Amino acid sequence: MRLPVFILILLALSFSNAKAEQLEVCNSCEYKNIKTAIESAAAGDTVVIKKGTYREFNLQITKPLTIIGEDHPVIDGEDRGEIITIESDNVTIDGLKIINVGTSYTTDYAAVRVVKSENFLIQNLQLEKLFFGIYLEKAKKGKVINNTILGDAVEEYSSGNGIQLWYCKDIEVTGNKIQKVRDGIYLEFSDDILIEDNLSKDNLRYGLHFMFSNNDSYENNIFENNGAGVAVMFSKFITMKGNIFRKNWGPASFGLLLKEINDSEISNNNFEENTVGINIEGSNRINYNNNDFRNNGWAVKVRGACYSNIFTKNNFFNNSFDISYNSKLNDNSFDRNYWSSYTGYDLNKDGLGDVPYRPVKLFSYIVNRTPETIILLRSLFIDIIDFSEKVSPVFTPDNLMDQNPLLKPVSHDIN
Amino acid sequence: MFKILKYSFYDLMRSRWSYVYFLFYLLLGLVLLFLNNDLSKAVITLMNVIIILVPLIGTIFGVMYYYNSKEFTELLLAQPVKRSSIFLGQYFGVSLSLAMSLVIGLGMPFIFYGIFNSDAIGNFALLLITGAFLTMIFTALAFVIALVNDNKIKGFGYAILLWLFLAVIYDGIFLMSLVFFEDYPLDRFSLAATMLNPIDLSRVLILLKMDISALLGYTGAVFQKFFGTNQGIILSSLMLVLWVSIPLYLIRRISTRKDF
């Protein structure tokens, strides 16, 4: 019974061996540099690069190849331009260390660029001193996994993005670690993208930046200490789950910026110590549930033109302002959230406060009007006027309240 | 002067009120730490208390002490002692014992909790220093008021009014003027208005230390720039010292001219 299977495997092995040749690149090998190895390889071959330093750039891959680095060989571009360009389907790149990508003000040089290709796999790369890291251009069905990108960006205009997707579809970006570039991950016109388990921190501008990209989801990522946090703009049907946004702290920073986002889901995220947890502008029909907001300046800042958003089962802990509105109109609903500054009571012991909670304070309204007044934060006078406004709302939206504030925080699993 | 200072100080140390005051702060510190379990959080909560309560207690205690020891003061005045040293001695006795109750009462629980091994030590030290300053300022102001008014009720009334003005009404006027003149650049004005009120100045100093400056946006940047530099720190400490020395000067002046 076993014999036919064995033969089959043997056959398959020998067949693939016969077909896919392995080319080795090292100082003492047949191929001394990567370019000649790639040029002389046939479609389906594997190029193995041994440990060493290779000063090369403009490596164009125009046939299905597997390029594997052993012990992370270094490809040094010497700041002369783009390093690897993939223009073929079924290409795998694995285990290289690429440094010194050229900086240009007219061309977006990348460490690895994929152009109009399918089924690619880019993994275990280490990119340093780069302009753009991994640039996917009109690519489909590929994976970008476990890469480490460490930039040295100083100015926004002279730096590039860590992973950039432009007109892409069905791509998985998983387990990457991106630091000190302009935008950690940037998506433009890219649909059905899954972004998972990435760490994006210390970037100059955004940890993650979405533009005109629909049906994407990002889950369990960590965005920390980025210049302006995460921006999701002009997109639909986005799922954001289990992400951590923390320490995006500065005069113009926020954890998450939503602009013109519709029909999306934001759940189980953790917003910690951001100047603004979520900044919402022109976003409709979004469900916010099971999120934690801790120690933010503003937990949620609603800027206007936001309709039919639902906030439920979120925890608001120790934020300077829970919700801020700049108008009296409200079409969003808040229900069954936990607010740490809630002072009501629960006589019938059903776990829900008997007095509704008003998350918008008068002071936040005043600060919206005259930003300078924030200097009076935590003053006794402000507490007094907040209290009087709470008793009888005049300036804040009077229908904006949580009718069933929870007395205990919602317990949900956040990793 | 030091003899009178010593006498007032020991007198107050033995009195029930400074024990109550001390125990109050001890309890406050313990309860806050017990409930919060987080040093920096406790420091923030403490700030709210210090900004409001310390001036109030300083004011009331100062006025009360002056009126209570009036007979003794009159007795002293009959002796060949300089007037200014009598009143300044009394003042320093009161303010030092109050400041000590505050610093020790709050310091003890935090030290047991390990403030020395925490990052919050700087903030906490600032908190205690501003607290001590506020005590000195408001006790001095209370003495001035009590010296001017022989009528106890009037003196108490004015003292409370002064506290109310600086703690609440001033901020109200400040807020109104900010909103009213919102079309004009206001950062210099708000900086000046903050500097002029010791309660606001202490509050802003502590707030900026608490890393809340980013919240303040553009205005915050201006404030951070001002208070973050040595010049700003020197200027604001100078302001606090000024707030102590002007009432002290007034105490001297009024006490030498007053007809007892």
- pLDDT over 70 percentage in chain B: 93
Taking the C-alpha atoms of residue A20 and residue A7, their distance in angstroms, rounded to an integer, is 19
- Percent of chain A whose predicted confidence (pLDDT) is above 70: 95
A377, B207: Cβ pair inside 8 Å?
yes
Q: What per-residue confidence (pLDDT) applies to A386? A: 87
d(CA A401, CA A397): 9
Domain positions in chain B: 2-155+162-257
Best of A294, A372, A381 to mutate (most B CBs within 10 Å, chain B):
A372
Other CB atoms within 10 A of residue A394 CB: 10
Cβ contact (<8 Å) for A372 and B47? no
Q: What angle do CA A56, A60, A61 make, to 5 degrees?
A: 125
Sign of CA dihedral A283, A289, A291, A294: positive
User: What interhelical angle do B217-228 and B198-209 show, nearest 10?
Assistant: 100
Count how many pairs of residues, chain A against chain B, have C-beta atoms within 8 Å. Answer: 81
Q: Which residue, B43, B63, B44, B66, is CA-closest to B55?
A: B63
Of all residues in chain A, the one with the smallest CA distance to B212 is: A297
A39's CB contacts (< 8 A; 6+ apart) are none
Helix (H) or strand (E) segment spanning residue A23: strand A22-25
Which among A147, A146, A140, A153 has a CA at the least distance from the CA of A98?
Answer: A147
- Orientation of helix A362-369 relative to helix B170-180, angle to 10°: 40
The values of phi and psi at residue A3, to 5°, are: -55, -50
A281 part of a folded domain: no
A167: exposed, middle or buried (C-beta count within 10 Å: 0-12, 13-18, 19+)? middle
Task: Provide mean pLDDT across the span B116-121.
Answer: 76
Please indicate whether, in this complex, the C-beta atoms of A373 and B175 are within 8 angstroms of each other: yes
**pLDDT for B36 beyond 60:** yes
Cα A385–A388–A390 angle (5° rounding)? 110
Provide the residue range defining the domain that includes A75: 20-180
Residue A414: per-residue pLDDT: 46
A292 Cβ contact partners less than 8 Å away, ≥ 6 residues apart: A269, A270, A271, A272, A314, A315, A317, A412, A414
Tokens (6 digits) for B244 = 């102590």
Give residue for tokens 């003899």. Answer: B3
Question: Which pLDDT value is given to residue A3?
Answer: 54
For A278-323, what is each residue's pLDDT tens digit?
999 999 999 999 999 988 888 999 988 889 999 999 999 888 889 9
Residue A13 has pLDDT above 70, yes or no: no
Helical H runs in chain B?
2-14, 16-36, 39-68, 70-77, 83-112, 121-148, 152-164, 170-180, 187-196, 198-209, 217-228, 230-257
Question: Which range has the top average pLDDT, A223-232, B41-50, B115-124?
Answer: A223-232
Q: Cα separation of A99 and A55, whole Å?
A: 10
Provide the terminal-to-terminal Cα distance of chain A, rounded to the nearest Å: 48
Torsion sign (Cα): B67, B70, B71, B72: positive
pLDDT in tens, B128-146: 999 999 999 999 999 999 9
What is residue B226's three-state secondary structure?
helix
Which residues in chain B have Cβ-Cβ distances shorter than 8 Å to A366? 175, 179
Residue B187 in contact with partner chain A when CB distance is under 8 A: yes
Are B182 and A372 in contact (CB < 8 Å)? yes
**CATH code for position A123:** 2.160.20.10
Tokens 């251009």 sit at which residue? A137
Q: Give the pair of three-digit tokens for residue A317.
A: 């802990």
Nearest Cα to Cα of residue A209 among A259, A251, A252, A169? A259
pLDDT digits (tens, 9 = 90+) for B78-110: 888 888 888 888 898 889 889 999 999 888 888
Residue with more model confidence, A127 or B47? A127
| pLDDT value at A12 more than 70 | no
Tell me what pLDDT residue A415 has. Answer: 42
Residue A329 has what pLDDT? 78
Domain count, chain A: 1
Residue of A nearest to B223 (CA): A375
- Whether B173 and chain A come into contact, CB under 8 Å, resolves to no
Asked whether the beta carbons of residue A370 and residue B179 sit closer than 8 angstroms, the reply is yes
Residue A27, in any domain of the structure: yes
Residues of A in contact with B178 (CB under 8 A): 370, 372-373
In a domain, A91, yes or no: yes
CB contact under 8 A, A249 and B220: no
Minimal C-alpha gap between A355 and chain B (Å): 25
State the nearest Cα–Cα gap between B100 and chain A, in angstroms. Answer: 25
| Statement: residue B233 has pLDDT above 50 | yes
Nearest to B219 among A298, A371, A379 (CB): A371
Q: Is the ipTM of this complex over 0.90?
A: no
How far B165 CA sits from the closest chain A CA (Å)? 10
Q: Please say whether the beta carbons of B142 and B59 come within 8 A.
A: yes
What three-state secondary structure class fits A224? strand
Average the pLDDT over each of A325-334, B90-99, B114-123 and give the range with the smallest value. B114-123
Does residue A155 belong to any structural domain of this protein?
A: yes
For an interface test with A, give the residue of B49, B166, B178 to mutate (most A CBs within 10 A).
Answer: B178
Over the range B95-129, which residues count as b (16 or more CB within 10 Å of their CB) and which as e? bbbbbbbbbebbbebbeebebeebebeebbebbbb
Of residues A141 and A227, more confidently modeled: A141
Q: Cβ of B139 under 8 Å from any chain A Cβ? A: no
pLDDT at A138 over 70: yes
pLDDT at A1 over 50: no
Residue A64 tokens read as 């299905």
Distances (CA, A) of B128 to A32, A94, A290, B101, B175: 70, 58, 39, 11, 27
CB contact under 8 A, A366 and B175: yes
Distant-in-sequence, close-in-space partners of B117: CB < 8 Å, separation ≥ 6: none
Give the list of residues 6+ apart from residue A218 with CB closer than 8 angstroms, or none: A194, A195, A196, A208, A238, A239, A240, A241, A243
Over residues A136-162, mean pLDDT = 91
Place of tokens 């105490």: B251
Nearest to B217 among A374, A376, A380 (CB): A374
Three-state secondary-structure class, residue B50: helix
- Comparing A13-17, A65-69, A77-81, the range with the smallest average pLDDT is A13-17
On whether any CB of chain B is under 8 Å from the CB of A388, the answer is: no
The C-alpha angle with vertex B224 and arms to A340 and A256, in degrees rounded to 5, equals 45
Q: What is the mean pLDDT of residues B195-205?
A: 89
Per DSSP, the three-state class of A61 is strand
CA distance A331 to A400: 8
Which of A15-24, A207-216, A307-316, B157-166 bottoms out in mean pLDDT, i.e. has the lowest? A15-24
Quick one: which H or E segment has residue A365?
Answer: helix A362-369
- The mean pLDDT value of chain B amounts to 85
Q: What is the pLDDT of residue A4?
A: 60
Q: What is the mean pLDDT of chain A?
A: 88
Closest approach of A164 to chain B, Cα-based (Å): 30
Q: Do A381 and B41 touch (CB under 8 A)?
A: no
SS3 A404: coil
